[in-house]
Every structure is written in C-alpha cells, then in structure tokens.
Amino acid sequence: MKLGKMRAVCITLSAFGLGLVTANSASAAYWSYGAYEGGGYGVWNYDPGPDSIGYGDAPGDAIAACDIASDGWGIEVRLDIGRDGDIDRKVSTRGHTADYCSGYVTGDIKEGTPVRVWVVKVSGSTDYHPVYKDGTA
C-alpha cells in the first residue's frame, strides 16, 4: 500500500514539474544561437518582452549581438527577412571589448514571416564560419 501511495506522489510531482517547464518555455519571447566554436551569440527577440541581455524590456522583431570572449573576434548578427538571401538588418560588437552586448536593432515584421538569423564571428573585414538558425516573426 505504501509503495502505491509513493508512486502516485511521484507521478503527481512529475506532472506538476512538467507543467512548470512547459509554461516557462512557452512564455519566452526570444531565442539565442551561439557562434561557431563559441565566443559569442546572437539573439532573436520575436515578441516584446523580458530582455535576455540585460537592457530591461526588449522590443519585438529585434536582433542583438553578444561577444563573451576576449579572443580577437567580434560577433555580428544578420537578419534575413523572408529567407530570400538578402540581409535586411545587421548589428555588431565591432569596436567593443568582450564582455559586451550590442543594443537591439528592430523594426516591425508581419507575424508569421520566416526569418533567418545569422551569427558570424568578425575581425576587420574577415568573416569566420557563419552559422544560422531559422525562425518566424
């Protein structure tokens, strides 16, 4: 009998924990994606909400770049609205020393529009191994 009660308690607590994790992930209005081999990351804030990089509230349809390593490379984030191969917005940590996050570059994009967020290591005129993640506005 005790084993049955213990199992019921474990199942109930597990379900409650899963509900908390699901609720928290659904409320996120952004995602971030790391640069190739580390050193920094890009942020795509698709809806206005809490700011993941420390500037207070973040705007929607916005990108930001964060350089977290003193390795001689900056981070540039490029936004391709519509995934048509044209870069529509760009933000960079060029000219700043790490640990630094840029401000947001933003502008309204129609809901549901596909976007591609590129995260690129940069130094001078050199780009190093661009990586991307797809999302929607």
**Pair 44, 53: CB distance under 8 Å:** no
Q: What is the pLDDT of residues 30-87, one digit of tens each?
A: 899 999 999 999 999 999 988 888 878 899 999 999 999 999 999 999 999 999 999 9
**Pair 85, 94: CB distance under 8 Å:** no
Query: Does the CA dihedral 63-78-23-109 come out positive or negative?
Result: positive
| Angle value at C-alpha 86, between 81 and 89, nearest 5 degrees | 60
Q: pLDDT category, 132, cuts 50, 70, 90?
A: very high
- As a whole-number percent, the residues of the chain with pLDDT over 70 amount to 80
Distance of alpha carbon 101 from alpha carbon 92, whole angstroms: 9
Distance of alpha carbon 137 from alpha carbon 66, whole angstroms: 21
Give the pLDDT of residue 23. Answer: 35
- The reported pTM is 0.78
